[in-house]
Structures are given as C-alpha cells and as structure tokens.
Structure 1
Amino acid sequence: MTTSAFGSAELSTAAVGPSSHPGRHRVLILAAIVLTGLTMRVAVTSVGAVLTDLQRGLHASSSVAGIITTLPVIAFAGIGFLGPRLAHRFGEHRLVTAALLAATTGLVFRAVAGSVWLFAVLSMLALTGGAIANVLMPSLVKKHFPDRIGTMTAVYTTALAIGMTASAGLTAPLAELGGQSWRFGIGSWALLTAVAVLPWLPTLAGDRPQPETLPDRVPLNWLLRSKLAWALTLMFATQSFQAYIAFGWFTDFFRSHQVDATRAGLLLAFYAALSIPVSMAIPALAVRGQRRIVVGLAAVTVVSYLGMLVAPVGGAWLWMLLGGVGSGMFPLSLTMIGLRSRELATTAALSAFVQGIGYLLAGTGPLLVGLLLGITGSWTWPLVLLILAVLGSAATGWYAGRDEYVDDQLHRPSTAG
C-alpha cells in the first residue's frame, strides 16, 4: 500500500505544553474540546431517532434508508484519512473550525432537502465535523494537555457520549415541538455545532500551517509494518464492530423475543446512556495501565452476550448493564492512541490509521448480522460472532497494552542512494 493510497499524516511535532499557554487560553481550549465532543455524533444518532418518519417524508425505500445509515462509516473512514494531511496544510484549529462550519451547513440544509439523494449528499457534509474531530482530538489533547492525556480523553469521550445520548433521545421530542416535523428535529442540532465553533475562533491566529517539506512527518504507509499500530487498529475495529451491531440490531433482538417496542427501546437507551459514566472513568484509569482494564471489560462483555443467548428476556437489563460497561473499550482505545505515541505527528498519523481502517472494518458488522439472520433465522450465530469480536478486541488490546511506542516501529524508507 502506497502513500497515495492512504494520504500523508503530516503535523508539526512541536508539542505545546501547559507552560506555553496562559490559564485562560487552556480554559478556552477545554471549552472548545467539550463543545466539539458534544457534536461528534449528533449528525448520526439524530437520523436514527426519526428514521421511519424520514423514510416516509422522502419516499425512501428500506434499501435506500440502509445506505443513509451506512454513510457515517464512509465519512468517518474516508474523511478521517484526509484529516491529518489537511491539518498539516491548514492548521489543526482552522481545520476543526471549518469542519464544524461545514457540519452546521449540512445539518441545516439536509433538514430541508426535497429528495433522498440530496439528503444523502448533505448528510456527508453534516458528518464532516465528527469525522475530522474523530482523528484530530487525540493529537489536540496531546498538544494542549500532554500532562493530562487520560483526563482530557475522558472529557471529550464523555461529551461525545452525552451528545450521542441526547440526540438519540431528544430528536423525536424536538420534532414534536416543531409540529411533528422530523425536519425540525434533525435540523435543531445545527445550533449546537454553530456554538461549538465559537471557542475555536480565538485560536485561529496561532495556527501555523507547516511547509510540505517539513522533515518530521509521518505518512500513513510508514505504519503498515507496525505491529502496535495494527493491534490498536484491530482493537478499535472489533469494539466499534460490536457497537454498530448493538445500535443497529439490539432493538430487533429484543423484539424477536417478544419484548414490546417501548421496552426494547428503553433497553437500548439504557445501554447507550451507560457510555457516559464509563467514558468518564476508563481513560483516567488507563494511564495507570491498560491490560487489566482490557481483561475486565472483555469479561463483562462476554457474560453479557452469553446472557443474551441463554436468558434474553429475564436478564435483559443486566445484560445491557454489562454490555454498556464493556463498551468502555472504545474510550480506552482512543486513550491508547495518545499513550502509545511520543510525537504529535505520530499521534495524528496513528489516529487516522486506527480510525480510518477501524471504521471500515466495523461497518461490516451490521451487514454480517443481517446475513446470518437471513441464513439461519436465529440469533445464536450473531451472538457467537459478537463473542468472537470481544475475544479479538481482548487479544489485540492486551498486545497494545505493552509499554512500547509506535514511533519506534515506524518503517522509514531509506533515503540512501
């Protein structure tokens, strides 16, 4: 795989530590990170909350609706690969600001789109903010808070979880507030992304885009021979694989076991809401060591899936509790991106590599579950698939927990000759 296939993750390696910023500036950056975290999933989960009404309003078939729900995977992978290169060229703060403005525009105009295909195109624009923030947040945290990587990762992943839960739970009530209009419901979130732009504005003047000839750069193909980079990628991929299946299929799982629609929805909402306290705790704990956390999270998740297999209704709340706790593997993997890299350029490249490839692999999860259900008509094999994914996440997470750095495994082509 060549550099052109992946793009180049080029970023200044000059870390900006706490001593470089007055306290007020760090508070401003903190506000920017929190507000941006809140916006990172609103373009995704707000659609799912009103998908039936949206299909009816745009005359979209189930297959077209399936394409729309797959767009986040495409955006997070494709745009994510470009993030570090664009940040190198224009500056990280400018790029995040531009991405949030693009997201605001997309959220507003897709809400008034007259056709499903225009809605899909504008959804890609709406997803830009989250896609760029996905890959830049680890390097921004490392740049501005190098002494607080665990704490600050907890801050933005918790904000992400809160925003995700809020947009899933409040979009339908907002639609009712707007006169039973799904358009008002999904368009309302543009206000949040617009507000998130504001604290970034004072930081723009300090951005110094790097020249293309900067010697300290990390093209993504340098990571291809790094076992640690691949371990983090597969850890992230297998966790996100489970998450996509959970949000796409768990309601259907409970409905197939004669659980009514209201209770099935509440079970999934409970599962999603648990990501808030879990995201608060896991990154801060991770700085003290990751392997025990990996084993613990994997264990409770396996118990959750086994429970769903043998007692899907009687223990439903317990299985969702354990599964929600186990989802802490997601913020843990993001924290480890910063912990397993020394230089900012490596962090940026590693973030793009892990999330770009990881989201592509994770997107196959709901498709495989649908295929298995179609072939077998049973949830046994989908749950076996989920257990295998947990074991894969545990094995790769255990390897990634080694006290090593991706920087030391970079494959730098020889310039001799």
Structure 2
Amino acid sequence: MTPPATCAAEPATAEPATAEPATADVTPGPAPQALPARRIPPVTGGALVLVGMLLVALNLRAAVTSLGALLDEVRTGLGLSGTMAGVVTTLPTVAFAGLGALTPWLVRRFAPARLLVAAMLALAVGQVLRVLTDSAPVFLLTSALALAGIAVANILLPMLVKQHFPHRTGLVTGAYTMALTAGTTIAAASAVPIAHAFGSWRAGLGVWAGLAAVAVLPWVPLALRARAARRAAPATAAPAARTRIRPARTGLGWAMAVYFGAQSLSGYAIMGWLAQLFRDAGYQPESAGLLLAGVTALGVPIALLMPALAGRLRTLRPLVLSLTAASTAAYLGLALAPQGPALLWVALLAVGQGAFPLILTTIGLRARTAEGTVALSAFAQSTGYVIAALGPLLVGVLYEATGGWVAPIGFLLGALAVQTTAGMVIARPRFIEDGR
C-alpha cells in the first residue's frame, strides 16, 4: 500500500520561529558559509535525485548482511576467533559513528552530490579490496573504507528528503527505506548461493561492489550541476544569517540518539549473528541465510508503511509499544525454541525491526528545516552507532563464553527495555529547533 504523499509533511516543513535567545541548545553562530540547503540548487531535478537516493539506499546494508550470511566461511578463511568475529560485526557501527559525526562538517564544505559520489566510490573500492586479501587486519581496514561511504550516505539521505521533497516526507522516506530493506534482503539471501556457485566466500562478498558503482552514476551529473550553479552565483552575494542547532544540548536529541542506538544495536546483532543462531539450531547454511533474509524481506512493506503511520498519529506511543511487544516475543521464542516455528520468530523480528524506519521518519518529524534535520540526523546516528557498537561485539563475547544463545538474547532484551524508554520520550510532537 502506498502511503499518502502528504504524510508527515505539514509539521516538518514550516519555517521555524525566531530562535529564543534564552535557550542554550539553539545558539547564534557565525555565518561565513552558505547553508547546506543551498548547496544543491533547484536545477538538479527531483526525479534524478530520487533515483540516486534509491540506488544509494540499496547499498546501505548489503556489505553488512552479506558478511553476516557468510560469517562462518570468513572466520574459517581468515582464521578469525569468535571475539575477532565480534569485532568484524561491530565494525559497521564504529565506522557509522565516527564518519557520521563528521558529515555536517563535510556538507558545509562540499555539495551533497559530490559527497555521495565519493561515498559510493569508497564503498565500491573497499568491497573489492577486502575480498582480495588473506590478512585479517587488511580485511578490517578495507571493510572500514567501504563502511565509511555508507556512514556519510546514512546522514545525507534524511537531509535530501527535507531539501527536495518537503511535502512528501513520508512517501520518500518510506521509498528509500524500502529500497534499503530490499538491498539488505537480497544480499542476505543470495550471498551464500553466490559464494557456492563460484566456490568462494569472496565472490559472495565482492559482487556487491558492482551495485555501489551503479549508485555513483546519477550523482555525477548532479554534482556537476551543483558545481556550475555555485560558480554562476554572484560573487558579492552575502551568506544568510543562521542559527546553530545543537541537539546534544536537548533532551529530545539524546532521546533520539538512545532510541536510534538501541534499535541499531539489536539490528546489527541480528544481521551479524542470526544466521549463526539458526545454523547452531540445525539449519543448513542456505536455510539459515534465507531465514535471515526473511527478516529483511518481511520488513520491506513495514518500511513503506511505517512513515505513513507515524505521520498520521499525533503520538508515536502506540507504534513504539507495538514494536517492543513484537521484538520481545521474537527474542523469547529464539531463546526457548529456536528449532520451533522459525518463520514466526522471523516475522516477529521483522515487525520489531520496524523501529528503524520509525526513527528515520521521526528525524524528519522532529525538525522544521534542512539544517535541523542534518544536525539531528548526524547527532542521533553518530551517537546512536556508538551505543550500537556494543551489540554485535557483546553478543559475540557472550556466545563464545557460554556456548549458547540464552545470555546473548538476555542482553538484547535489556537493550530493548532501554529502547522503549527512549521511545516514550520521542513519541510526543516537538521540534529540535525549539530548544529544551
């Protein structure tokens, strides 16, 4: 079902009122540069931007879930211990946190289209290089290069929605989140068959570099247009005054970061370890990979529907509590009966992972402007990924220490409780530009 084009648009696109001088979290700043929103001029064409966003979104998790599906083969091929495998599965969150925090600085200096060209090239090159090595440290470094490209794109996509599609926030957010979920699903489902077809796990990981290369193509003309428009702008044009938005000084900013971090913690733990859990339960590698893919496949319609639901509800509490209930039931089922109705646990996990499109939509709903969106997106995602980095690593440590899945799943249930608490805070309508 396609969500209405106007969902979540009205509250998110109004111009903010004059900043209150007494608030500490929205402080006046110098204006030596143009706003990020002016970096992409109107001549760049919404259709090409949308195509480019969807292609980028297809790439945002393929490098991660393909590794999760082939983790056992990679561990054997590179001689990784269980703890080192935990480091490998933690690497995405570390990269997303570090590079995500730098993205607002980058968008003040470079057009977002140019950044996305560089990001997708880094992703393609990193994925190629990491399958050409037999060294575990080199594998980690080249994986970090690939993940750096994803980190920048993670922050830019919500901002591009606000800039180019302010009256279709819910529709476009749902579309690119659905593309992200589809890419995640395809990579998880096909990584093992591709590896078997070519006789090596390297093929199952390296093939996704081609998809990243394709994602570069729409952004090249957009980057050239933005550069030409910037050169054609009058040299005497004075930059507009602006306010500097500091989400770290607001309770809303921290609640968004904690919710994003807790849901990402569980999401990356699932992507990194769910296939191994099903293998330990007696499933064949291909079946385990398909069950992992099922989580993301069932998440595709959820990703499209969630922005519409979030835009129509005055409070997000019903959604937050429903997602928590689904995740709780799934975790208990996996802990107590992993060989039981596996498809039921997969379906409940997919519903629970709807927290990801929910928080992406909420970033747009809780900011009035593109500047507020990129500030909130960068803070929530970079800080959230620091929290999320604990997930795959601690799951790996607990799994190796106990030899089972009860302790790791208990840890994920604790993270879910934290997520729910933060969700209650972000559920009430308000805007990051309004201060504390």
Same-fold call, TM > 0.5? yes
Query: Counterpart of 2:35?
Result: 12
Structure 1 stretch displaced more, 239-248 or 372-381: 372-381
Change in 2 beyond 3 A, CA 1:254/1:69: closer
Aligned-partner residue type, residue 385 of structure 1: F
The Cα shift of 1:379 comes to 4.2
The Cα shift of 1:16 comes to 9.7
1:395 to 397, 400, 421: 421
Q: Tell me how far apart the structure 1 counterparts of residues 73 and 345 of structure 2 sit (CA, whole Å).
A: 30
Query: Counterpart of 2:200?
Result: 181
Q: Tell me how far apart the structure 2 counterparts of residues 187 and 254 of structure 1 sit (CA, whole Å).
A: 24
CA contact (8 A) 2:39 2:110 kept: no
Q: Tell me how far apart the structure 2 counterparts of residues 338 and 69 of structure 1 sit (CA, whole Å).
A: 29
CA contact (8 A) 2:189 2:290 kept: no
2:271 to 244, 247, 268: 247
The Cα shift of 1:183 comes to 2.9
Query: Counterpart of 2:209?
Result: 190
CA contact (8 A) 1:11 1:348 kept: no
Aligned-partner residue type, residue 356 of structure 1: S
Aligned-partner residue type, residue 273 of structure 2: W
Whether 1:356 and 2:382 are equivalent positions in the alignment is yes
Query: Counterpart of 2:18?
Result: none
Higher relative contact order, chain-length normalized (CA < 8 Å, sep 6+): 2
1:287 to 294, 311, 330: 311
Change in 2 beyond 3 A, CA 1:396/1:62: closer
CA contact (8 A) 1:15 1:343 kept: no
2:166 is paired with a residue whose SS is coil
Aligned residues: 395
Query: Counterpart of 1:7?
Result: none
Q: Tell me how far apart the structure 2 counterparts of residues 319 and 15 of structure 1 sit (CA, whole Å).
A: 46
2:355 to 320, 329, 350: 329
Q: Tell me how far apart the structure 1 counterparts of residues 267 and 401 of structure 2 sit (CA, whole Å).
A: 22
Whether 1:126 and 2:146 are equivalent positions in the alignment is yes
The Cα shift of 1:405 comes to 0.3
The Cα shift of 1:61 comes to 4.5
Cα deviation, 1:355-385, whole Å, max 9, x if unaligned, reads 1111111121233334545666664444343
Aligned-partner residue type, residue 276 of structure 1: V
1:223 to 247, 251, 256: 247
Q: Percent identity?
A: 42
Structure 1 stretch displaced more, 224-233 or 265-274: 265-274
Q: Tell me how far apart the structure 1 counterparts of residues 111 and 395 of structure 2 sit (CA, whole Å).
A: 41
Query: Counterpart of 2:88?
Result: 68
TM-score (norm 2): 0.81
Query: Counterpart of 1:408?
Result: 434
Whether 1:135 and 2:155 are equivalent positions in the alignment is yes
TM-score (norm 1): 0.85
Cα deviation, 1:287-323, whole Å, max 9, x if unaligned, reads 1122222222222222222333444433332122112
Whether 1:34 and 2:54 are equivalent positions in the alignment is yes
Change in 2 beyond 3 A, CA 1:149/1:327: same
Aligned-partner residue type, residue 184 of structure 2: M
Structure 1 stretch displaced more, 345-354 or 250-259: 250-259
Query: Counterpart of 1:162?
Result: 182
Change in 2 beyond 3 A, CA 1:346/1:371: same
Aligned-partner residue type, residue 190 of structure 1: A
Change in 2 beyond 3 A, CA 1:175/1:303: closer
Q: Tell me how far apart the structure 2 counterparts of residues 144 and 180 of structure 1 sit (CA, whole Å).
A: 45
CA RMSD between the two structures: 3.0
Q: Tell me how far apart the structure 2 counterparts of residues 134 and 88 of structure 1 sit (CA, whole Å).
A: 16
The Cα shift of 1:327 comes to 0.7
Change in 2 beyond 3 A, CA 1:184/1:270: closer
The Cα shift of 1:256 comes to 4.9
Q: Tell me how far apart the structure 1 counterparts of residues 374 and 342 of structure 2 sit (CA, whole Å).
A: 40
Q: Tell me how far apart the structure 2 counterparts of residues 385 and 257 of structure 1 sit (CA, whole Å).
A: 19
CA contact (8 A) 1:16 1:144 kept: no
CA contact (8 A) 1:99 1:129 kept: yes
The Cα shift of 1:265 comes to 3.9
Aligned-partner residue type, residue 393 of structure 2: L
Q: Tell me how far apart the structure 1 counterparts of residues 128 and 39 of structure 2 sit (CA, whole Å).
A: 35
Cα deviation, 1:213-269, whole Å, max 9, x if unaligned, reads 8742536xx222211111111111111111122223334444555556554444333
Q: Tell me how far apart the structure 2 counterparts of residues 80 and 399 of structure 1 sit (CA, whole Å).
A: 23
Q: Tell me how far apart the structure 2 counterparts of residues 45 and 379 of structure 1 sit (CA, whole Å).
A: 20
Q: How does 1:107-122 map to 2 (within 5 A)?
A: 107-122=127-142
Q: Tell me how far apart the structure 2 counterparts of residues 140 and 357 of structure 1 sit (CA, whole Å).
A: 21
Query: Counterpart of 1:414?
Result: none
Aligned-partner residue type, residue 297 of structure 2: A
Q: Tell me how far apart the structure 2 counterparts of residues 62 and 282 of structure 1 sit (CA, whole Å).
A: 36
Change in 2 beyond 3 A, CA 1:102/1:244: closer
Q: Tell me how far apart the structure 2 counterparts of residues 303 and 183 of structure 1 sit (CA, whole Å).
A: 36
Q: Tell me how far apart the structure 2 counterparts of residues 21 and 212 of structure 1 sit (CA, whole Å).
A: 19
1:91 to 111, 115, 125: 111
Q: Tell me how far apart the structure 1 counterparts of residues 297 and 193 of structure 2 sit (CA, whole Å).
A: 17
1:218 is paired with a residue whose SS is strand
Change in 2 beyond 3 A, CA 1:217/1:86: farther
| Gaps in structure 2 of 5+ consecutive residues | 1-32
Q: Tell me how far apart the structure 1 counterparts of residues 127 and 88 of structure 2 sit (CA, whole Å).
A: 14
Q: Tell me how far apart the structure 1 counterparts of residues 348 and 79 of structure 2 sit (CA, whole Å).
A: 39
Cα deviation, 1:311-347, whole Å, max 9, x if unaligned, reads 4433332122112111101110011001101121111
Change in 2 beyond 3 A, CA 1:185/1:256: closer
Structure 1 stretch displaced more, 391-400 or 263-272: 263-272
Aligned-partner residue type, residue 191 of structure 1: G
CA contact (8 A) 1:36 1:133 kept: yes
1:287 is paired with a residue whose SS is helix
| Gaps in structure 1 of 5+ consecutive residues | 1-9, 411-417
